[in-house]
Amino acid sequence: MARFTLPRDIYHGKGALENLKNFTGERAIICVGGGSMKKYGFLDRAISYLQQAGMEVKVFDGIEPDPSVDTVMRGAEVMQQYQPDWIVAIGGGSPIDAAKAMWIKYEYPETTFEDMCKVFGLPKLRTKAHFCAVSSTSGTATEVTAFSVITDYQKGVKYPLADFEITPDVAIVDPELAMTMPKKLVAHTGMDALTHAVEAYVSTANCSYTDPLAIGAIEMIQHDLVASYNGDENARARMHDAQCLAGMAFSNALLGIVHSMAHKTGAAFADYGAHIIHGAANAMYLPKVVAFNAKDETAKKRYGVIVDYMGLGGKDDDEKVANLIKFLRGMNDQLNIPQGIKFYGADSYPTENGFVPEDVFLERLPEIARLAISDACTGSNPRIPTQKEMEDLLKCCYYDTEVDF
């Protein structure tokens, strides 16, 4: 038996944000990040719509990129004092992920962060509040997923929280918000979405409910991501839908070791002045993981199906896998994303000498590999790597060398 869970309602299309006017309750708290939602007026509109619904509204703002455990605990404390009926998270993946974790702590104050990290081990939510997610970026799809990623900065590790309980009640996918994304964010979130769809399709938890969503998302992203990156507003709107389809797929089919590696490398070198941005990490690692996973015959055949849908050609599955890898690397080039950690600059752009020194990478490699293997996403990867294989795979991702094991 399998389970397929989505938000009860998904409002999509231009003007979908206005559906906040139809919510019922006494108090709502809006969780938001930096300045873009304020700058472009979407925060004020959300406040106005909720007030028109007859609710008192409080704003918890300033949620940082890669939200921290400290921010989660601080936000949950505000919720304890305010007692909202609705938690409305608006913005990119960071404020939505943070608000999901706050929601758990709000409903169960005794819950520790360690408790939250138990995969599919959360108690029943919705005893105090319902949750609405309004996405402004076209990649994480956290507005429809059972996942959240929170960073423990003391350990330098990103932890994925996973439970169907944190799937939002309502998702609002309004392309007007996505028009605010800067070009670099379009690239990174778009490759994050593509990784979601590809990993969901070859995941060991894939099923006939998730496959069409994954394939549909891949086809849309193939057609629209580069155009969206280059300023096509219609393509930008379609990408907002495509990433949501990818999210529906992976929330139910789960992910794989591209995400395991991205989670554990993202903040691992923060003491050297930067993070490896999640979407860029996925983009760099995905071609390497495709090559690694394709040693599994079932995964290789499924990659072949993806290639058939994409129309990339190939006389057999081996050639199709090679064509998929070539396509993915070509996407990185078109989107100005490096091909390896060694060439990843502190600004995320390709450079001859990246911000992660080779000796530091090699010194931290065994622990990063160990953490990646234990990540929640590893269990549904079609091929489970050993410690040595994970270290070798990460080396290929650092030096941009071919995977032949």
Of the listed ranges 116-125, 194-203, 329-338, 347-356, the least confidently predicted one is: 116-125
| pLDDT tens profile 217-263 | 999 999 999 999 999 999 999 999 999 999 999 999 999 999 999 99
Nearest to 252 by CA among 212, 222, 192, 282: 212
State residue 160's pLDDT score: 87
- Contact assessment for residue 162 and residue 119, using Cβ atoms and an 8 Å cutoff: yes
| Distant-in-sequence, close-in-space partners of 109: CB < 8 Å, separation ≥ 6 | 76, 80
**Measured distance CA(266)–CA(285) in Å, rounded:** 12
Q: Please give the backbone phi and psi of residue 97, each rounded to the nearest 5 degrees, phi first.
A: -60, -45
Average pLDDT on 127-147 reads 96
Q: pLDDT at residue 1 above 90?
A: no
Beta-sheet strands, E only, within 214-269: none
| pLDDT tens profile 43-68 | 999 999 999 999 999 999 999 998 99
Residue type present at position 344: Y
**Measured distance CA(240)–CA(344) in Å, rounded:** 27
| pLDDT tens profile 285-341 | 999 999 999 999 999 999 999 999 999 999 999 999 999 999 999 999 999 999 999
Q: What is the pTM of this model?
A: 0.95
**Measured distance CA(216)–CA(307) in Å, rounded:** 13
Nearest to 262 by CA among 248, 282, 243: 282
Q: pLDDT at residue 119 above 90?
A: no
The radius of gyration computed from the CA coordinates of the chain, to the nearest angstrom, equals: 20
**Measured distance CA(26)–CA(57) in Å, rounded:** 9
Average pLDDT on 103-128 reads 95
| pLDDT tens profile 392-401 | 999 999 999 9
Q: pLDDT at residue 157 above 90?
A: no
State residue 154's pLDDT score: 87
Average pLDDT on 83-110 reads 97
